[in-house]
Amino acid sequence: MEALFPYLLPYLILTQWFIRLTPNHNNSISKFGLYLKTYGISALGGFPTGAATITYLKKSKQITPKEASGLLSICHSPSPLFVIGFVGNDILNNTSFSWKFLILYHAVSFILLIIFYKVIRKDSLPTEQLPMQQNSQNYQNPFTSSIKDSIPTVLVVGSTIIFFTTIYTVVMHSISNFLPNVHNNFLLVTAATLEMTNGLQIAGQLFSNESAILYVLLATFLTTQSFSIHMQVAVIAKGEHISLKAYAMVRVLLTILIPALYYLIFLI
C-alpha cells in the first residue's frame, strides 16, 4: 500500500481514460500510431497498465491476437513514478540511477517495438483489418468507463500482491528457522523472485555501500520483475486469451540485455 498503489492507481485510471478518448483507425500509418500510443501508456502507467490496455484493444478489436501477444511482451515496463519515487528517492536517495535505467530500458524496448511493427506489417495482408467495435463504447462516459474497467485490474494487483507477500513472509520465516546460517544472497534472490518490491528493498539494505553491485541488482530486478507481476499479467491476458510465449521470451532477452548494457555503459 505504501510502495506500489500510490504510484499505480492514479496512472491506471488516467491511462485507461486516455485510450478511450482517442479514436480508432485502420490504416497502416495510424496502426503504428496505435502502437506508439499503447507503448506510451504502458511506459507512463507501468505494469500491469500495458496488459490492461492491450486486453482492452483486443477486446474492442483494434488489434489482432498476434499483435496483442507481441505488444504484451514489449509494452511492459515499470512506472517512472515507481522507479524515480520508490527506487530513486526511497532506496537510493538519488534519482541518477532511475533516469539512466529508464532511458536505457525504453531505448531497447522502443527498438523492439519498431522491429515488431516492421515484422507484423510484412506478415499481415492488407485485408487483415478487424471490424471496429467501438460504437457501444461511445455511449459511455470515457472517464466513468475507465474507472469501471480499472477496478478488476486493481483487484488483480491487490490480491496478487497479498498472495505473494503472504508466501514471501512464510518462506522467509521458514528459511530463518530451518536454515539460520543461510547466506543473505539466497534470501535476496528468494525475495526478489516472489515479490519485486521486497527484493529491491533488501538489495538496498545489503549493498548500500557497494554502489556498482547495487545498481546492477536493481536493474536486474526491475527488468526481470517477479512472479507476483508476471501473475498479474497472466491473469489479465487470460481474459482475452492472449498468448504469453512472446512475453516470456522477451523477458528473458531483456533480463540478460538491460543489466549488461547498464554495466557496460554507465559503470565501466
Question: Is 243 exposed, middle or buried, given 0-12, 13-18 or 19+ CB atoms closer than 10 A?
Answer: middle
Within 8 A by CB and 6+ apart from 119, the residues are none
Return the minimum-mean-pLDDT range out of 89-93, 100-104, 166-170: 166-170
- pLDDT tens string 37-60: 899 888 987 888 888 889 888 988
| pLDDT of amino acid 15 | 63
- pLDDT tens string 113-168: 999 999 988 876 544 444 544 444 444 676 676 666 666 767 777 777 778 778 87
Cell of residue 96, nine digits: 541518477
Owner of C-alpha cell 528473458: 252
Mean pLDDT, all residues of the chain: 83
Task: Give yes or no for a cis peptide into 126 (omega within 30° of 0).
Answer: no
Encode 66-115 in three state secondary structure: HHHHHHHHHCCCCCHHHHHHHHHHHHHCCCHHHHHHHHHHHHHHHHHHHH
| pLDDT of amino acid 136 | 45
- pLDDT tens string 174-218: 887 777 777 788 888 888 998 898 899 999 999 988 889 999 999
CA nearest 113: which of 174, 70, 170? 70
CA nearest 150: which of 26, 37, 41, 39? 41
Q: How many whole angstroms separate alpha carbon 262 and alpha carbon 6?
A: 28
